[in-house]
Amino acid sequence: MSPQVPQVHGHCDARFSAVRTAFEENFRERGELGAAVAVVRDGETVVDLWGGWADAAGTRPWERETLVNVWSTSKGPTALCAHILADRGLLDLDAPVAAYWPEFAAAGKESVLVRHLLSHRAGLSGLREPHSLEQLCDWELTVARLAAQEPWWEPGTRSGYHALTYGFLVGEVVRRVSGLLPGAFLEREVTGPLRIDFTIGLPGKEAGRVAELVHPPAATTSEQASVFAQLAPAALAALTNPPVGAAEANTSRWRAAEIPAANGHGTARAVAALYGIFASRGSYGSRQVLSAAAAERVREGQGSCHDLVLGAGFAHETEIGLGLWLSGPNGSYGPNPRAFGHDGFGGSCGLADPEAGVSLGYVMNRMGPHIADDPRKTALVEAVYAAL
């Protein structure tokens, strides 16, 4: 191995050696700093690798238990909370949101359904009034503003990626039904009992294990201006109000907050385990977290379209199920068009393929410029399917 490639630790079944090769190539050819990847096949962990550095200066090795902020890969576990409640008959996905959250009926939203929140079709991709990072960390203020806001488009008609608002919308319904914010609900119902190393936000006691996120390559001012000039107001609100990136996510304020769409922290092993619940049709080991029917419902397509926020970034129409993206013609989650998952800003990914019995978790700290389909993630996904 060349000196430019950090030593890779962990284990990889011989059949999946192509995944190890792709992981090492991410360091050698794709600018990886620190990362981990885990693959579960039919309930067995067949890949569990990590390597590189947990900080920008290269002074802290990435360890087996290193945690990192996974951005929107957090949306899968957040959706899981809602589906658990629906599976228990406590939440009706076809009911108006206002049945659980009466204040939400304001500004013409009385007919918005719970399924519209899960599928990014509520028309609330971002807030209309300026919203600071400090305000984003204020749960009560943020959900009150969303409840009072008029939708950007007719709810239910199109998807428009709810980058930050998704977690507050789905999460407030979880809170109204269960009495718990999604982070506490996930811990009580899933990650605590199953000992899955994933939290929404980062407990202070875990600060010593967390990797430092590193900014993606900076665009020039003119390039940024060109991109922003092409965005509709609903997309600008979703992606820039407030602007967040590595610098914000490395702060104690961000880590201490409850931002379920974007500040989940975990290991690749934990991401593979959580998405593995979907891949295993609701089960985790001997425990049935969701019924098979409920797990199948997660990938119930809600209609393909050019997403109103991210559409320009995809050559094809995309389709979101009830919380996660379908692989579809893009092949974002492998060749099975009904595989599904979620990417995180800068590169991370969780993938579930029930037909193949496979789940994958990939986490890293050097962010790329992509909201989805980072080349490092794509190389790993392709290597997994080449091994099947």
CA gap 47, 1 in Å, rounded = 20
CA gap 125, 123 in Å, rounded = 6
> Residue 334, by phi and psi: left (phi above 0), alpha (psi -120 to 50) or beta?
left
CA gap 223, 301 in Å, rounded = 34
Task: Strands of 111-253 (E only): list them.
Answer: 198-200
Amino acid type, 154: E
Is residue 47 within 8 A of residue 16, CB to CB? The reply is: yes
Residues comprising the chain, all counted: 388
Give the active site residue among 72, 74, 178, 348. Answer: 72
72 classed as catalytic:
yes
Spatial strand order of the sheet with 264-266 comes to 68-69, 264-266, 198-200
CA gap 294, 362 in Å, rounded = 25
Residues with catalytic roles: 72
